[in-house]
Structure 1
Amino acid sequence: MPNLNSKRIVITGGPGTGKTSLINELIKRGYPCLEEISRQVILDARKEGAEQLFLTQPLLFSERLLEGRMKQYIEAEKMNSDLIFIDRGVPDVLAYMDYANENYPENFVEACNNCKYHHVYVLAPWQEIFTSDGERYENFEQAVNIHEQLLNTYKKYHYNLIDIPFDTIENRVDYLLDTLKRL
């Protein structure tokens, strides 16, 4: 049964902005969080022989992400907690497809309209902490472009975006929690 009092809070931003570190700090503080699923989709695709599924088959990759993010949305509805933090939301899938200039079916749009979050926090690109790795292929300039597309997509679905300023992870989490008290 859904917890009608729980608030689903998305943390989004381009690659390498500190989302995972923020989620890890929230977990450390005892908050329920749903972690980013794209790395798992990437690793699963590699097991199937696709090194960079988003680059070779962006629609298939995005369909898998959409399915996973919709499952997370439903999982968050069932959690017995007032606040549930989610590393990326359903609109992120559309933002990445738009960034790649790829078409997607209408069910992607329907998912964004049906999976509504209470608050969306945004981490801006930050050159000093940006790194690439085996699953993150984007460079910093691409991360900035993805960030802009994320902002456009969330605004298109009428979200009020809350920026988290550059600071230590602990201070960024404090800022997030303090602003939530005022919302």
Structure 2
Amino acid sequence: MGGRFARQRPASHRHRRERIGSVTTTNPLAAAIEAAADGPSRRYVITGGPSSGKDDLIERIHAAGIPCMQEEPGREIYRKHRERLGRHLRREDRREYSLEVLEAFITEYTAHTSGIRFYNRGIPDGYGWEGFFGLKPTPRLEEATQRYRYDAIFVLDPLDTFEDPDDIVWAKDREIRRVHELIVQGYYDAGYEPVFVAPDSAAARLDFICANLRLPKPSRGV
């Protein structure tokens, strides 16, 4: 019956699977992520100083269905140390804290073995934070930086608002810019060429990042 009279689906429909109701839709971005899932690991870092809009962007990445870390390990580890000490961390507490954060990043890195994944900060962030507190990088950080490499680094330029109460501890007064610059320098020192993401909405920033990686832009419905 179909034969030569069968209607050919438009090209836009041939490249995606659609179902109604209980069935999922595979959009171009989801298809690209699925196609890369069994391939080599592709690791992309989202970083920047306090007040960079990183939390909103990470949330947007998750909403788009892109594999990504949820919360940066340093925040939860910081809270645990603060609860144990009954105060905010001081310079003398930083070394133990930094090593624990580093191990958490290494664990996160090695757990990912294939496909695309975004990271909420990366191992070389340690250079920036240790520099901010006047500490020299540990041999463990130096070793990990050379051994565990990322495919691209996206640095978010600062915004004007704090996202987390602990950020105020990290960057009192006008130290936001200094923390940001130290983090950026840490990635340069580690041999990376970061891509800078200008202040904008989380959606626009994600579109920019996807375009840079030659990934389809997320659906506006996310």
TM-score, length-scaled by structure 1: 0.88
Amino acid at match of 2:65: G
Query: What is the deviation of 1:151?
Result: 1.2
> Structure 1, residues 149-183: CA drift from partner, whole Å, max 9, x if none?
1111101111111011211111111111111108x
CA RMSD of aligned residues (A): 1.8
Deviation at 1:140, TM superposition (A): 5.8
Look up the SS of the partner of 1:48 in the other structure.
helix
Aligned to 1:161: 194
User: Counterpart of 2:30?
Assistant: none
- In terms of Rg, which structure is larger? 2
More displaced, 84-93 or 33-42? 33-42
CA distance change for structure 1 residues 132 and 31 in 2, over 3 Å: closer, same or farther?
Answer: closer
Instruction: Give the 3 Å change call, closer, same or farther, for CA 133–171 of structure 1 in structure 2.
Output: closer
Give the percent of matched residue pairs that are identical in Structure 1 and Structure 2: 25
Q: 1:10 to 1:132 in 2, by over 3 A?
A: closer
Shift in CA distance, 99/175, structure 1 to aligned 2, threshold 3 Å: same
Q: For 1:26, which of 54, 58, 61 is the aligned residue?
A: 61
Tell me, in whole angstroms, the C-alpha distance in 2 between the residues paired with 1:64 and 1:53: 14
Is structure 2 residue 51 aligned with structure 1 residue 16?
Answer: yes
Report how far residue 20 of structure 1 moved: 1.4
- What is the aligned partner in structure 1 of residue 220 from structure 2? none
Tell me whether 1:103 sits opposite 2:106 in the alignment: no
User: Is the counterpart of residue 48 in structure 1 residue 49 in structure 2?
Assistant: no
Gap regions ≥5 residues in structure 1: none
TM-score (norm 2): 0.73
Change beyond 3 A, Cα 1:132–1:141: farther
Q: Which residue of 2 aligns with 1:60?
A: 96
Cα distance change on mapping 1:18 and 1:42 into 2, 3 Å? same
**Which structure exhibits the higher relative contact order, with contacts defined as CA atoms closer than 8 Å and separated by 6 or more residues?**
1
2:162 to 111, 127, 131: 131
